[in-house]
Structure formats: structure tokens, C-alpha cells
Amino acid sequence: MHSIQGHALDLFDERGVDAVTIEEIAEVSPSTVYRYFGSKEGPIVSDDFDALSQQALDDLLGRCDPVDTARRIVADYESAAGWTGPRPSG
């Protein structure tokens, strides 16, 4: 799914959404794009959170402190990506 999305976003960036066909996006077949994204424009708005259940989102995001939750998510992302840059104080 990520490779299809990346390919689609590259094409959209190069030529614009209207100039790109679904056949050009699909590295396998147009039905693959529709199955994963629902439309040609789907890769633009799709992300890894789409597949999560409401309970999984609640567990990830929490409900009490949205700022702390956002900081935790960014820190987890940076850690997984191997980020070695400065950390904001806070």
C-alpha cells in the first residue's frame, strides 16, 4: 500500500491529480488502487491511522491531555525513525 501511495503522490506532484490516470498509479492493476484507497485521490488523504479501530485510536491518542498525547506520538515516531536531533524542552 505504501509503495502505491508513494508512486501516486510522486505522479500527482509531477503532473497534477487531473493529469494522472488510475492506470498510471496502479503498479499492479487499477482495481488494486480502488481496493486500498477507494478512488484516484485516495492516496492523498490516506494514512496509517485509517486501518485502526476506534479502540486502538482511543488507546493511542488518549482522552485526558491532547498536548501530552501529541508529544508522546511525536517522540515515539522520532525514536522509531532513529531521530538524533535536538529535543524540544517542555
Residue 44: the pLDDT is 83
Helix (H) / strand (E) containing 56: helix 54-61
Rounded distance, CA 81 to CA 52, Å? 21
User: The pTM is what?
Assistant: 0.45
Cβ atoms within 10 Å of 53's Cβ, excluding its own? 8
| Domains of the chain: total | 2
Domain identity same for 58 and 43: no
Q: Which of 28, 62, 9 is nearest to 76 (CA)?
A: 62
Query: Is there a single domain that holds both residue 25 and residue 7?
Result: yes
Report which residue type is found at 40: K
- Inter-axis angle of helices 30-37 and 2-15, nearest 10: 100
Q: Between 89 and 41, name the one with better pLDDT.
A: 41
39 & 18 share domain: yes
Q: Which domain holds residue 68?
A: 52-81
pLDDT exceeds 90 at position 81: no
Give a yes or no: residue 86 inside a domain.
no
Let me know whether 6 and 42 are in one domain: yes
Residue 89 lies in a domain: no
Question: Cβ distance 26 to 32 under 8 Å?
Answer: yes
In this structure, the answer to whether residues 34 and 9 fall within a common structural domain is: yes
